[in-house]
Amino acid sequence: MRIVVLDGYTMNPGDLSWQPLYDLGECTIYDRSTAEQVVERAAGAQIVLTNKTPISARHLDELEGLQYIGMLSTGYDVVDVHAAARKNIPVTNVPGYATDSVAQMVLAHLLHFTQHAAHHSQGVRRGEWSARSDFCYWDLPLVELRGMTFGVVGLGRIGSRVADLARTLGMRVLAHTLSGKSTVPEGVELTDLETLLRESDVVSLHCKLSEKSRELIDAKRLALMKDSALLINTSRGPLVQEQALADALNEGRLAGAGMDVMSREPPAPDNPLLTAKNCLITPHISWATTAARQRLLQGVAENIRRFLQSDPVHVVNA
């Protein structure tokens, strides 16, 4: 069985062992591949693995002998899953591997704006504490979260975990789900999106990207939020209309935004959020803890193993 990994570097830049895949067959691993290189590199492979390298219907027409496509991720929008289904090629993903890691990043963005730890540490290094007459100082407001309202948009694994963490911090939690999910975590209030945006002090996005959710947070919906509110997005960049968000931040109509994802990645140098006020941007790393990537690698290998046993799991195009 020949296995080709089209773009393995992001998941494993060298700190993990690829042995779980080598144990399953002849394995060729490329750090990165362009769309133009897919056919050449995957030719003759029965199993192809991808993270962000696109696999189109045209690629599938040219890859004779391909039996299986595995995602090195949860998302699978880079693969034409319908074309794969027509050819009886299962496409699998790995759900749930980064739930705790992404939820942790939400808290990192939230605490950045409420505790200002890095800001005050930098002030200490500049000598600002040493020059004070008092035993302590702060030059930005310090915010206690207990009693404030946290809005979660999307109640999948990650959204539900974030809701649990917000409740642990003593926050009231509102939730809205685009999928119509009726089961909600204990203590979470299900509501419509407009109410959630109006009442929340913090809004965290945890939606799948679809035509329904694309630019879900636009100028009209940003206008519903409190001037003192924070927006956090660790889900998908295109959920947010970026120019509208930059305008709201620059005009003081929103207190801050924490973004781990952008509409284009890497972002264009002229992306308005790169220079917007009070916008903390991390480079799509919420999923990338060592523990999460190890679980992802093990999940990819287990998906292949189950396929080889004629008992496939996590098939997204069945």
* pLDDT tens per residue across span 133-177: 999 999 999 999 999 999 999 999 999 999 999 999 999 999 999
Instruction: Give the mean pLDDT of 228-239.
Output: 98
Same domain? For 32 and 73 the reply is yes
Same domain? For 178 and 255 the reply is yes
72, pLDDT greater than 90:
yes
Phi then psi for residue 249, to 5 deg, are: -70, -45
Same domain? For 108 and 181 the reply is yes
Q: Is 173 within the bounds of a domain? A: yes
Rounded CA-CA distance 296/97 in Å is 6
Q: State residue 271's pLDDT score.
A: 98
Same domain? For 119 and 144 the reply is yes
Which amino acid, residue 137?
Y
For residue 12, what are its two tokens?
Answer: 């494993």
Which residue in the list 236, 293, 295, 314 is annotated as catalytic? 236
Q: State residue 184's pLDDT score.
A: 86
Q: Is 27 within the bounds of a domain? A: yes
Considering Cα of 17, then 21, then 23, then 29, what sign does the dihedral take?
A: negative
Same domain? For 50 and 108 the reply is no
Contact 103, 165 (CB under 8 A): yes
284 among known catalytic residues: yes
Which residue in the list 2, 198, 284, 305 is annotated as catalytic? 284
Q: State residue 179's pLDDT score.
A: 82
Q: Is 315 within the bounds of a domain? A: no
Name the domain count of the chain.
2
181, pLDDT greater than 90:
no
Contact 177, 154 (CB under 8 A): yes
Task: Tell me which residue has tokens 């929008």.
Answer: 77
Q: Residue 288 CA to chain centroid, in angstroms?
A: 10
Q: Is 317 within the bounds of a domain? A: no
For residue 146, what are its two tokens?
Answer: 């207990």
Q: Is 147 within the bounds of a domain? A: yes
pTM here is 0.94
Instruction: Give the mean pLDDT of 271-299.
Output: 98
Rounded CA-CA distance 204/257 in Å is 10
Residues spanned by the domain of 76: 2-96+290-308
Same domain? For 82 and 165 the reply is no
Same domain? For 220 and 139 the reply is yes
Same domain? For 177 and 153 the reply is yes
Q: Is 221 within the bounds of a domain? A: yes
Q: Is 189 helix (H, G, I), strand (E, B) or coil?
A: strand
98, pLDDT greater than 70:
yes
Rounded CA-CA distance 216/197 in Å is 12
Same domain? For 272 and 124 the reply is yes
Same domain? For 62 and 119 the reply is no
Q: State residue 183's pLDDT score.
A: 79
Instruction: Give the mean pLDDT of 175-185.
Output: 83
Q: Is 57 within the bounds of a domain? A: yes
Q: Is 165 within the bounds of a domain? A: yes
Nearest residue to 316 (alpha-carbon basis) of 101, 135, 78, 30 = 78
- Per-residue pLDDT tens digits for 246-283: 999 999 999 999 999 999 999 999 999 999 999 999 99
Which amino acid, residue 136?
C
Radius of gyration in angstroms for the set of CA atoms belonging to the chain, rounded to a whole number = 22
102, pLDDT greater than 80:
yes
Same domain? For 172 and 276 the reply is yes
For residue 182, name the pLDDT band (cuts at 50, 70, 90): low
Go through the chain and tell me how many residues it has.
Answer: 318
265 among known catalytic residues: yes
Same domain? For 169 and 267 the reply is yes
Q: State residue 28's pLDDT score.
A: 98
Phi then psi for residue 242, to 5 deg, are: -65, -40
CATH at residue 85: 3.40.50.720
Rounded CA-CA distance 210/145 in Å is 32
In the predicted model, what is the mean pLDDT of the chain? 97
Which residue in the list 128, 144, 251, 265 is annotated as catalytic? 265
